[in-house]
Amino acid sequence: MRSPAEALAAIPREQFIPDVVYVPGPDHWLVPLRRSEQPVRWRELVDDDDGAVITKVGPHPGVPVEVSDPATGRGLVATSSSSSPRVIAAMIQALDPAPGMKVLEIGTGTGYNAAVLAYVLGHDNITSIEIDPDVAEQARTALHKAGHPVEVIVGDGENGHPPRAPYDRIIVTAAAHTVPYAWVEQTTPGGTIVVPWAPTIHPDWPLARLTVRADGTAVGRFIGRAGFMPLRAQRLLPRVMHEAEERWIKAGRPHYSRYGVTVTREGQSVWLDSPANPVDPAQ
């Protein structure tokens, strides 16, 4: 089986990056950067193994639509991006794929991560779901041009994709603070779910790896760091994140690896050191 490192070396990221991307402007709002106007800067962004590239923006839910201004970026926030190759490699490593495994990706984005997965496991074993129809179509086109025709589904990733279930692995490219039980139901016993966690427990935006058990529960710990934009239905207000950080400081600033998650049909529990020691997350 090919490794994620081999895939990243073989697949040019630029095949999945549009000619217009977005960067913080003078007032910190996101403004367009066009390849035709700034080819060197565009190339620097694409070639940065540690950097995500913002590929689409939309209205900030807390800013009145009438004050949004695409020219200055005022009132706009990132809605889609290309994850950094370093983070992609780390997440696929955590996924621990093996030949013949079926993988569901939640959040297609540009399609770059799906291409890497397809290179490792074969495109027939990968299904990717994207909530934004325009983003899904662009990714589908890029994947076909690159020779990795992954099936891209338009839909809400929180529901998974039952028609191709069960999956051996589920990988999520958006931050969550609540694991939908549909993901657990659609993963085979012994399978793995890798999901970036919103900062409701720890301010470092940790990465969770959960193992699905035969009794229908999923249990795991935070294993690293991976900041992602949130699932659309799981966005957080700044005050919620601030309050969560205050609770973490009050608890003595525990390392993220001390936290874990248990998910059942009835709900989920986040805990410190042991499932017997649940904590109260902000949501």
Number of Cβ within a 10 Å radius of residue 159? 13
Number of Cβ within a 10 Å radius of residue 144? 14
What string of DSSP letters covers 227-264? --PBPGGG---HHHHHHHHHHHHHTT---GGGEEEEEE
Instruction: Give the helix/strand (H/E) hosting 140.
Output: helix 133-145
Rounded distance between C-alpha atoms, residue 43 and residue 45, angstroms:
5
**Ramachandran angles phi, psi of 190, nearest 5°:** 90, -10
Rounded distance between C-alpha atoms, residue 270 and residue 248, angstroms:
13
Cross-strand partners of 180: none
| 81 catalytically annotated | no
Of the residues 80, 81, 82, 83, only one is catalytic, namely: 83
Calculate helix-pair angle for 112-121, 85-95, nearest 10 degrees: 40
Question: Which are the contacts of 133, defined by CB distance < 8 A and separation ≥ 6?
Answer: 154
Q: Which of 235, 217, 125 is nearest to 171 (CA)?
A: 125
Q: Are the beta carbons of 92 and 116 closer than 8 angstroms?
A: yes
Active site (catalytic) residues: 83
